[in-house]
Copies of this chain bind each other. A is one copy, B any other.
Amino acid sequence: MKAPTTALLAEGAFGDEGASKTAYGILRYVPESVLAVIDSEHAGRDAFQVSGLGRGIPVVRDLAAAIALGAKRLVIGVAPAGGALPEKWRRDIVRALKKGMEVVSGLHTMLGEDEEFQAAAEEGGGRIVDLRRVPEDLDIAICRAQEVSAAVVLTVGTDCNTGKMTTALELAGEGTRRGIETRFCATGQTGIAIAGWGIAVDHAISDFTAGAAERLVLEAGKDKNVKLIVVEGQGALAQPMYSGVTLSLMHGSLPDALILCHRATQRKMDHVELPMPPLAEHVKMYEQAMRLVKPAKVKAIALNTRGLDEDSARRASETAQRETGLPAGDPIRFGAGFLLDAILEDSLKKVPLYSGPPR
């Protein structure tokens, strides 16, 4: 195993999973790559004490301390408030690039287009990786994802931020543990930081978003030994902010099964004044939106029960199961076995494309 070389920049936000989603994702799924977390507020503590993740990884006060430990890679693990790059980070990024480090960013702002960063990288031999930069040769989708022999599973949600990436990673991990050749397709910056490849589909122009999903599935299915492809979902059909991205992912990746992710305690939609519809309504909406292209079904409910005690989490799972008639549970709390079981029920069978109305 290689020595860890990554410093996670989580200044002012470590301890808040929502604000430092990328840092948490990396600590949960690839902790072996992490040398230190940078957050002056928690400096001197162990990452586990602050986040419940990354046992044995130190939190340090600044970039210099991380470099002293041997950091060669700086991953921006937090979204700055307001979207603009804080001045202090700019100094850190410049310093890291001048020291020849790799700087990895999932921000909408492309660091690689910044002249100061370009100059620093050139001077010190550093490298900028903008996770959200999409390939320039993206194209439209034309149902080519159907050509892969592996079964494709897509995680979808009742809203943004319901655990679609986590559920996809847990399901993929469970597949691998059971000896099924499985691939995870990352579609957002955190997933890409964890998996090391993928396309941030929300940054593609809208005509080519489905095409980006199609390309990921084709890439994952190139190896004919692959039996299961799990695609990370984005947004939600019932969330008007991002529903177009969601449908593009559905019609581009052509899943054989969907897993619906839901925050158990959520009563209204984020960002807009709309109530959270019942789970069964979401299921209907997703299946109707697939039907005329490829009639795939929702196979299970992945509940995010964060904030509930174990009893309440079990009750929430039972309620979800009753409301939808589908297996339901929290894959983080109770394991992703039930999700894989629901998929395996059909022995990873491919669902054919829409062939017209029943005669």
Contact = CB atoms under 8 A, between A and B. Distances in A.
Interface residues of A, number: 49
A244 B244 contact: yes
A285 B277 contact: no
A243 interface: yes
7 contacts: A206-B245, A240-B252, A243-B248, A244-B251, A277-B292, A277-B354, A285-B291
Interface string A230-245: 0000000110111111
Contact of A356 (B240, B275, B282): B275
A43 interface: no
Interface in A186-238: 201-207, 209-210, 237-238
Nearest to A282: B292
A31 to B, nearest CB: 30
A67 interface: no
Contacts of A237: 247, 289, 292
Nearest to A244: B248
A104 interface: no
B206 A272 contact: no
B242 A281 contact: no
A285 B292 contact: yes
A210 to B, nearest CB: 6
A210 B237 CA distance: 13
Contacts of A27: none
A207 B160 CA distance: 12
Interface of A: 140-143, 201-207, 209-210, 237-238, 240-249, 251-252, 254, 271-275, 277-278, 281-282, 284-285, 288-289, 291-293, 353-357
A284 B288 contact: yes
A135 to B, nearest CB: 14
A283 B134 CA distance: 35
B244 A206 contact: yes
A324 B273 CA distance: 32
B241 A140 contact: yes
A187 to B, nearest CB: 11
A275 to B, nearest CB: 4
B244 A353 contact: no
B242 A207 contact: yes
A249 B245 CA distance: 12
A210 B244 contact: yes
A246 to B, nearest CB: 8
Given A210-B244, A285-B288, 6 more contacts: A210-B240, A210-B241, A240-B252, A244-B244, A281-B291, A285-B292
A194 B286 CA distance: 36
A240 B143 contact: yes
Contacts of A251: 240-241, 243-244
Given A203-B205, A207-B245, A210-B240, A293 B274 contact: yes
Contact of A273 (B141, B143, B285, B357): B143
A37 B273 CA distance: 50
A300 to B, nearest CB: 20
Nearest to A236: B292
Given A142-B271, A285-B291, A292-B238, A210 B357 contact: no
Nearest to A145: B240
A289 B287 CA distance: 11
